Each structure stands twice: as C-alpha cells, then as structure tokens.
Amino acid sequence: MENNKFEFKYNQAKGGTKEYYLIYIADFKQRVIVEKGTFEGISDFETEFPDNEIEMKNFIKAFETLYPCNNHEFEKYISLLRGTNLLRDNRDIFDNDVFIEIIDYIRLDAFEELESQIESYPLIQSSSDFISYIEKFKEEVIIKEDPSLGNFVADFPYNEKDLESFIKAFEILYPMNNHNFSRYVPLVKGLTLINEDTELQNTDMSHEIEDFIRENLLQDLKQQIVTYPHIEIPKAFDYKGYIEELNEKLGFDGMNSEIIHEGTGENEQYDILIEGNNFTTLQIIIENQDLDKHLKNQDLEMFILKHYESAIVDFNVDDLFNELYSAVSSQYRPSQFFNMLEEDKMFFTNTLRDAIQLIK
C-alpha cells in the first residue's frame, strides 16, 4: 500500500458514510490532483470506493458538501451499482468476473469524473483544501512537533470565504469540538478592506494584522486538536480468531481445518481450510483489506459466509472424486467414497444456507 493516510485519517469516520467520503474526496484531491499522482493502482481509493447504491448516495452528498457549485454526473452510478448488485444475486448464472469488470468500469469512470469536477471547480479554496491543510498541520506541528509554521502561510484563509471553508473543514474533522473560530471573521473582513486600499496594501500595518490573525488562529487550531476528545484507535482486529470461532459455530472445524495468516500490506490474506463430516476440505482465500472494509460496514460475518458459499457452489463431486479416489482406493469402495463427498457437499450447503438465513 502506498501509505497509511487512509488509516490515519479515517479512524474517526465509519466506512461508507457521508463523513467517510468527505475525507476520501479531500484525500483524492491531495494525492491525485495536488501531488500529481494517479488514481489507477492506488489500493486505498479502489477498495474504499462505493460498491453499492447507499454508499454512492453518501459519496454524492459528500461531494456536494465540498463542491456545492458544481453540476456533476455521479447520479448515473447509482443505477449502475443497483443493476450490478441485482446481477450479483444470480451468481449461478453470471460469472464473478462479470461483476469485477463492471465495478472496475464504474470506478474508473467515476474517478475520471471526480478528477474533472475538482479541477474545474472555481478557484476559491474549498473545504476539501482545508481538510488537507488541517491534517497536514496536525501531522507536522502536533505529531512531529515541528514548531515552524512556514508551510501554513501561503494557503492560510486570508479572506472571508476561505475562512468559512476552513471552519467547515474543521467541523467535519472534529465534530465534537466547540470552537470560536468565528471571532476571526470580522478581523479577516477588516484585513480585506485594508488590502483594497492601494495606499495600505503591503504596508507594515497590513502585515502585522495578517501575522496576528494567522498566529492566533493557528494557535487556537493546535489547542483544539490537542484537546479533542481522545478516541482510542482499536488494535488490529483478530480476524483469525474470529474465523476460528465462526468455523466452530458452523461445524467446519475438523482436524484438518486450518487458517493461515500470510503476507503483508496489499498481499496480506487468510488462507482458510474448512472441513466436512467426512473429512472433505475446501480452500477459501480472503484478502485482509476486504475484511477491513466489511468490518467497517458491519457485515463481516455475511461477507465471509458468502465466500464460503461461493467455494461450496464450485465444489464438484465428480471432479473431486476423480482427483482423490486413487489415493484412498484401498480404504473405500468407489460408491462409498462418492457418497461421502456428496454427503459433505450437502452438509456444507445446508449449513451455509441456514447460517445466512439467520443473518438475513
């Protein structure tokens, strides 16, 4: 993964919500447009992109909060995602690759639309600019304890509209804080009036006012962030333990079942082996970043069960018999071994059906 910006920023917002996508869009602007990066291959944007109708509606609300003047075309993705999820309910008819291709198309098209929308937005600084500004301030001044404020002079909100955007950005990131940034509004208005006078522009007096406003507001910003109610960032979720408990509950935890946690970053995954009553084993591989996403969305158990269900659908008794029987022919008659495989297929199928029905 390129870096941990998402993990650092998003711990205050639940995945898939408007608040979540406010930070997502601000980060997209910073990394793709300001830093001249590319959205292709950035796993943060790909894995966190809305993949259902509700999330896309929240994405649109976030965009319209940050860029209220823009006419966008994001509404079209709602119907596309709705159609994709209807098709997904018929996996026995459509190959899973079809869904991956559709989602990739929607994601790429939406990224291009988002990039175009942000680049064409009026040049006044938006709340998304100041979300990045405040996050950078937190990282440099508070976390790294760098007393220098030089990096925060040029983009400081020196006019009334920019200050309003700054305040909105702060309230997005720190919704529980009671601030008094509005007291700087008349000061900024006064500074604007002074700078409109050609004789007073760039004088010692105007610079002193600028310095006073900036130094005091940034000091207030530092105090607000430092005293913000502490939210304990949870330790890494124990997915292995969670899956072990789930397998035990399902009865898939035979002597040959196992869960192997392997890889790091984008390659981190869980290699799961579930076992039936007659020792038939099925392999399921789930990527850690997908587990993270569904943990945030509070549908982790259903997500894992759907992975199991897919593996069971692909379980072909004839093929497995042909593959394995020669190794066990001295222990079982052909009909006996075939029946054992069929019984395990039925066991897996019925158990998963009941478990999914209970969640629904």
The whole-model pTM stands at: 0.40
**Which candidate, 232, 229, 126, places its Cα nearest to that of 174?**
229
For residues 44 and 60, what is the distance between their CA atoms, to the nearest angstrom? 18
Note the pLDDT of residue 301.
93
Helix 18-28 and helix 160-173: axis angle, to 10°? 120
Number of H helices, E strands in the chain: 15, 3
For residues 258 and 319, what is the distance between their CA atoms, to the nearest angstrom? 23
Identify the helix (H) or strand (E) that includes residue 78: helix 75-88
- Per-residue pLDDT band for 125 (boundaries 50, 70, 90) equals low
CB of 315 closer than 8 Å to CB of 345: yes
Coil, helix or strand for 108? Answer: helix
Amino acid identity at 195 = N
pLDDT at 232 over 60: no
Q: Which residue has the higher pLDDT, 111 or 269?
A: 269
What is the average per-residue pLDDT within 70-86? 78
CB of 24 closer than 8 Å to CB of 48: yes
- Per-residue pLDDT band for 3 (boundaries 50, 70, 90) equals very low
For residues 63 and 23, what is the distance between their CA atoms, to the nearest angstrom? 10
What is the average per-residue pLDDT within 11-25? 70
What is the average per-residue pLDDT within 58-86? 78
pLDDT at 38 over 70: no
Dihedral sign (CA 344, 350, 354, 357): positive
Question: Which residues sit opposite 270 in a β-bridge?
Answer: 261, 286
- φ/ψ (deg, to 5) at 126: -100, 175
Q: Which residue has the higher pLDDT, 126 or 206?
A: 206
- Mean pLDDT, the chain, rounded, equals 79
pLDDT digits (tens, 9 = 90+) for 326-357: 988 899 999 999 999 999 999 999 999 988 88
**Which candidate, 311, 312, 299, places its Cα nearest to that of 344?**
312
CB of 67 closer than 8 Å to CB of 153: no
What is the average per-residue pLDDT within 223-228? 84
- Per-residue pLDDT band for 308 (boundaries 50, 70, 90) equals very high
pLDDT at 184 over 60: yes
**Which candidate, 224, 215, 212, places its Cα nearest to that of 187?**
212
pLDDT at 42 over 70: no
Least confident of 23-27, 321-325, 346-350: 23-27
Note the pLDDT of residue 10.
43
- Per-residue pLDDT band for 44 (boundaries 50, 70, 90) equals low
